[in-house]
Amino acid sequence: MILSPRLRKFALTAHVACSVGWLGAAAAYLALAIASLTDPDAPAAHGFQLAMELTGWFVIVPLSIAALGTGLVQSLGTEWGLLRYYWILVKFALTFGAATILLLHMPAMSRASGARSEVLHSGGGLLVLLAATALSVYKPWGRIQYGRRLSLERSREIAAEIVAATISTAHTRAAA
């Protein structure tokens, strides 16, 4: 089912907002992880750890799930499709992988797995999110073979509709 233009714009706005929010929250998380490495003061390090845990569970995790869900709505509810373009499929795989790793990693983070580990995980996650963002902007690689076939079939349907409308109009004019 293709979304109406109004609903499509709403879904796109929700997807961009969730994705940008996830990216920003991941950058803030990385800053907190770096700060916890550089400050030897134990109370400050504990504060950074608490801020990271709250940011992770209450901002990053919900935004990652929302970005994944709104991305699926966008791909399945528009003509872009999930299996028509390589960049969409790769972006989905990156997003799904990042959200899965995040969900698997958060319990360890809550057990204070170490600031160095958090810097590596959040830095890697940020790179994955930037890669997904770049894919959305540049849209490389073209269509998947399945997508080419769907596009060709849709073009044939449109051409058949145009021919049928032309014939109908010609018959109507001839009868008048």
pLDDT digits (tens, 9 = 90+) for 6-49: 999 999 999 999 999 999 999 999 999 999 888 767 788 888 98
Higher pLDDT, 155 or 110: 110
Q: Residue range 97-121: average pLDDT?
A: 87
Q: Do 110 and 156 reside in the same domain of the chain? A: no
Place of tokens 């504990």: 46
SS3 assignment, position 85:
strand
Q: Do 63 and 30 reside in the same domain of the chain? A: yes
Q: Do 86 and 30 reside in the same domain of the chain? A: yes
Q: Do 21 and 60 reside in the same domain of the chain? A: yes
pLDDT digits (tens, 9 = 90+) for 44-95: 888 898 999 999 999 999 999 999 999 999 999 988 888 889 999 999 999 9
Q: Do 24 and 62 reside in the same domain of the chain? A: yes
Q: How far are the Cα atoms of 81, 155, 169 from residue 78, in angstroms, in the given order? A: 6, 16, 31
Q: Do 102 and 153 reside in the same domain of the chain? A: no
Q: Do 159 and 99 reside in the same domain of the chain? A: no
Q: Do 117 and 104 reside in the same domain of the chain? A: yes
Q: Do 99 and 38 reside in the same domain of the chain? A: yes
Residues paired with 85 in a beta bridge: 143
Q: Do 119 and 173 reside in the same domain of the chain? A: no
Tally of structural domains, the chain: 2
Q: Do 172 and 133 reside in the same domain of the chain? A: no
Question: Which domain range does residue 152 map to?
Answer: 143-176
